[in-house]
């Protein structure tokens, strides 16, 4: 069988992980949420109580195992999908994901995970670093206001306490940090298709991408 890779990048809260998850279900592809991996490493670093500023302390990644099953992330055989969404992790993940050593190790793991599989992978650097040869590349974005509103509603849905203006400030700060860091910043690959979801529903975006892929394959 011919392998198909779909790379989806974009800023926090633009709807890319919802799009990627639904798309993977419709096409029967494996969904790899790379943001969840950076969050999980941050969670483990917090549990190990290491100095998050010191990238040499992150060698523990070599002994960490990841697996995606039904869009859930298992780290060392434990489902961490909920735990990685806490504000403690959200606050520290930009710092952790800015370390070159962390990125090199996770990018390698992500490339190995995507080998010989039909995958939908989402993140910040998928189209131009992790899967530069992916056949389909999308850059999904939306206005900061819209993104903050969505994350807020999502938090309320999950029963997590939420403050809209705080989220807006947090997203703005994270965008700035993620786009300006030295190693693999958030960036649209030259050959990626830009989709602004501010005025589009998730269903419309998924339909647009899925139709294109079904037409070709
Ligand atoms: O997609 P997310 O919000 O769960 O991502 C969490 C953090 O991980 C975000 O601050 C950026 C970082 N990240 C990254 O640097 N590279 C990726 N490929 C995915 C996420």
CA distance 60 to 43: 12
pLDDT in tens, the chain (217 residues): 478 999 999 998 898 999 999 999 999 999 999 999 999 999 999 999 999 999 999 999 999 999 999 889 999 999 999 999 998 998 899 899 999 999 999 999 999 999 989 999 999 999 999 999 999 999 999 999 999 998 899 889 989 889 999 999 988 988 898 899 999 999 999 999 999 999 999 999 999 999 999 888 7
Sign of CA dihedral 157, 6, 202, 103: positive
Total residues found in the chain within this entry = 217
- The pLDDT assigned to 131 comes to 97
CA distance 106 to 73: 14
Which residue's alpha carbon is nearest to atom 15 within ligand 1? 97
CA distance 107 to 111: 6
Partners of 122 in beta bridges: 8, 33
C-alpha 147, offset from chain centre: 15
- The pLDDT assigned to 149 comes to 93
CA 109 to ligand 1 center in whole angstroms? 15
CATH tag, 5-208: 3.40.50.300
* Ligand 1, CB within 6 Å, residue ranges: 12, 34-35, 38-39, 93-94, 97, 123-125, 174, 178
CA 10 to ligand 1 center in whole angstroms? 9
**Domain residue spans of the chain:** 5-208
Strands 119-123 and 5-9: parallel
CA distance 125 to 107: 9
CA 215 to ligand 1 center in whole angstroms? 31
CA 93 to ligand 1 center in whole angstroms? 7
Which residue's alpha carbon is nearest to atom 6 within ligand 1? 35
pTM: 0.92
| Structural tokens at position 15 | 């709807």
Q: According to DSSP H, which parts of the chain are helical?
A: 16-27, 34-48, 87-97, 100-114, 144-157, 164-180, 202-216
- The pLDDT assigned to 39 comes to 97
- Of 61, 12, 33, which Cα lies nearest the Cα of 197? 12
- The pLDDT assigned to 160 comes to 85
- The pLDDT assigned to 31 comes to 95
CA distance 13 to 31: 17
């Amino acid at each position: 069988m011919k392998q198909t890779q779909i790379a989806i990048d974009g800023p926090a809260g633009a709807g890319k992980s919802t799009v990627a998850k639904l798309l993977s279900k419709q096409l029967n592809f494996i969904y790899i949420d790379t943001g969840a991996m950076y969050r999980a490493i941050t969670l483990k670093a917090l549990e190990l109580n290491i100095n998050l500023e010191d990238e040499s302390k992150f060698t523990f990644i070599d002994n960490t195992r990841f697996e995606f099953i039904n869009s859930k992330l298992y780290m060392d055989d434990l489902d961490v999908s909920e735990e990685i969404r806490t504000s403690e992790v959200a606050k520290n993940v930009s710092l952790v994901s800015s370390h070159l050593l962390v990125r090199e190790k996770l990018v390698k793991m992500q490339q190995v995970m995507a080998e010989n599989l039909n995958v939908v992978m989402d993140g910040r650097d998928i189209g131009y670093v992790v899967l530069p040869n992916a056949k389909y590349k999308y850059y999904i974005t939306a206005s900061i206001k819209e993104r903050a509103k969505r994350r807020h509603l999502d938090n309320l849905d999950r029963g997590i306490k939420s403050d809209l203006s705080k989220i807006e400030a947090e997203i703005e700060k994270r965008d700035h940090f993620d786009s300006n860091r030295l190693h693999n910043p958030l960036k649209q690959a030259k050959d990626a298709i830009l989709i602004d979801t501010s005025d589009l529903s998730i269903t419309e975006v998924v339909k647009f991408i899925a139709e294109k892929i079904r037409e070709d394959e």
